[in-house]
Amino acid sequence: MELTLAVDFGSTFTKVAALDLKNEQLVGIAKAPSTVDTNVMVGLQDAIRSLQEKIGNNELNIKQVFSCSSAAGGLRMVVAGLVNELTTKAAREAALGAGAKVIGTYSYGLSLDDLKDIELIAPDLILLTGGTDGGNTKVMLHNASAIGASSLDVPIILAGNKMAAEAAQSILKNAGKYVVSVENVLPELDRLNIEPARASIREIFMERIIRAKGIDKAQEFVGRTILPTPMAILKGAALLSHGSGDEEGLGELMVIDIGGATTDVFSVAYGHPSSPGVIFKGLPEPYEKRTVEGDLGLRYNALTILDTAGKEKIIHKIETVGGYSIQIKKLEEAVHNLSARVNTVPASKEDFLIDVGLASSAAEIAAGRHAGKIEEIYYPTGKVIVQYGKNLTGIKHIIGTGGIFASGKEPRRILESACFDEKTPDSLRPMNPNFYVDECYILYAVGLLAEEYPSTVLKIIKKHLRKV
């Protein structure tokens, strides 16, 4: 049997999935602790040995390998633009859609303090935007000069006003910086153009960032491009939504990916206002959208979830789900241990319930940040309802992916937390969706193979989406 292997070098675990494409089957899955700090191949080889044990085959006939990575923090980016709600937001959409984690956002001219901050957080890449085509040129040129005079030694993508792009590129090149210029992410006030920037981000990730993080050690084994994991999941979500050939998709959907370091939310939906009287305000939303919450990981950021959601709320969730009462001090100790020992796997009922409490809180917060909002504004002529962001109330499918869902412990409870809540009626989260779990944690693999084998992997993922 010829196998196709999909690999995800994660921050916590390295996952592998073996697929028999000819027979449209998932043969097996396995994982092992990631070893990105030493040699990523060690963790991969451990995962493959585990896979061999699970399927009872010591000689895997691997025909081809596809892989993605979010190890060592993934692709860490800074974006800088002109107006926060316009070009800076457009730049963030481009970065997040390409699988990056945006660790710094700056608007208007970069100050000396801003540059010190950027140098301190040490991004892998900077996306520099500013001005619509024919609009403001000063800010982009100022920022190019400021970065050129700094000690920053990272790739820079220019995606701003085309009237300033050539001069900004010359400034940065003369300063010895690696710079690439692409089309403006916001050529007009009401038009996003983020694909050229996304493509450039992906290319730089493949060519430079992977080598810098040591993932290139696996490149010879893989034999093809290693993608950012969030981009692979977005591709998988898009295929699952749209369908392929004679294989029908699910339609508009949302994916919640709760991991050890982040919680990512993906939506494949238009998100238009559902009522004719509602006025949309702000930039157009991308049809395929991703947001990443770097403060909501179940391991690396477990303490942050506890602080953000509130201890009492998490205790209430644990009591509601499992009928289990836990003292605040014990909860604090348990969460502190999770943050200190990121490879921890739940072993007891209490462990699982704490994970469920943290995960449902992460899903609630992340979905609230991803979805749009409505606001009532009063004018002399009367009340007006304004929508900001995506209206996801009509979405009919929410899919959970990640280790917490693969474990099978209370997945519906976790996903329900991502839905509309009467206590926050301004949040446009899904109202009455169906819930599914990616029970074998293979959505990343579907995205990796989506371009070459769309119908085949769509059929495979449908077999392993479990309705809950």
Number of domains in the chain: 3
359 and 323 in one domain?
A: yes
**Mean per-residue pLDDT pooled into runs of 10, the chain (468 residues):** 92 90 96 82 92 86 90 77 84 78 88 94 91 91 95 93 94 96 90 86 72 67 82 95 92 94 92 90 88 84 91 90 83 91 84 92 94 91 91 97 84 95 94 96 96 97 95
Q: What is the CATH number of the domain that holds 152?
A: 3.40.50.280
d(CA 277, CA 419): 23
> Rounded distance, CA 383 to CA 403, Å?
46
Q: Can you list the positions of beta strands (E) in 210-309?
A: 226-228, 243-244, 247-248, 253-258, 263-268, 278-281, 288-293
Q: Model-level pTM?
A: 0.81
Q: Are residue 355 and residue 423 in the same domain, yes or no?
A: yes
If asked whether residues 80 and 63 sit together in one domain, one would say no
Residue 22 lies in domain = 3-72+213-224
The pLDDT of residue 208 is: 65
177 and 53, same structural domain?
A: no
Task: Say if residue 30 is in the same domain as residue 129.
Answer: no
Residues 103 and 180 in one domain: yes
Same domain for 85 and 52?
Answer: no
If asked whether residues 335 and 387 sit together in one domain, one would say yes
Closest to 391 (Cα-Cα) out of 249, 234, 267, 241: 267
**Within-domain flag for 245:** no
- Answer whether residue 35 is part of any domain: yes
128 backbone dihedrals φ, ψ, rounded to 5°: -110, 120
- Is 449 part of any domain? no
Among the listed residues 193, 85, 186, the one whose alpha carbon sits nearest the alpha carbon of residue 135? 186
Q: How far apart are CA 428 and CA 273, in angstroms?
A: 10
Is 177 within the bounds of a domain?
Answer: yes
Asked whether residue 137 is assigned to any structural domain, the reply reads yes
Residues 152 and 258 in one domain: no
Is the same domain home to 261 and 287? yes
Taking alpha carbons only, the member of 447, 448, 442, 431 closest to residue 465 is: 442
Task: Please tell me whether residues 84 and 175 are part of one structural domain.
Answer: yes
Cα separation, 36 vs 229, whole angstroms: 15
Residue 141, pLDDT score: 95
What pLDDT sits at residue 212?
56
Domain co-membership, 109 together with 169: yes
Last residue within a domain, chosen from 148, 175, 209:
209
CA distance linking residue 120 with residue 87, whole number of Å = 24
346 within a domain of the structure (yes/no): yes
Domain boundary among 176, 209, 242: 209
Identify whether 310 is part of a domain: yes
User: Looking at the DSSP assignment, which residues form a beta bridge with residue 65?
Assistant: 5
